[in-house]
Amino acid sequence: MAGYSDVLEYLSALDYPAGKDDILREAQREGAPPEVLRALRALPPVDYANGAEVARSAGIDAAPEVGRSQQAAQARNNRPRVSQHLRGI
């Protein structure tokens, strides 16, 4: 499986925002291995603001050293929040 740094290594010269086609073209030009290209081909066809957004969208963890309990806590904290003006209702 492609890692976070693997993906970013092959996109270091890319100018953002960039679309899926631009990202794939750059990775191929840089000689990315098949597992990186496979991850990038699975990207949704939208514009990406930076490499971190590309890696997240490809389902690659930014910090693989983070434990499962911390990942679960982060997932719980990523739920939509109630706007401050709606809290009193």
For 30-81, the pLDDT digits (tens) are 999 898 888 899 889 999 998 888 888 877 655 555 566 766 676 666 555 5
Tokens of 85: 């003006």
Give the whole-angstrom CA distance, residue 30 versus residue 40.
Answer: 13
Give the whole-angstrom CA distance, residue 64 versus residue 13.
Answer: 24
Residue 8 has pLDDT above 90, yes or no: no
Peptide bond into 17 cis (omega under 30): yes
Q: What is the CA radius of gyration of the chain?
A: 16
Tokens of 84: 């401050």
Residue 3 has pLDDT above 80, yes or no: no
Give the whole-angstrom CA distance, residue 14 versus residue 38.
Answer: 18
Q: Quick check: 48 and 18 in contact, CB under 8 A?
A: yes
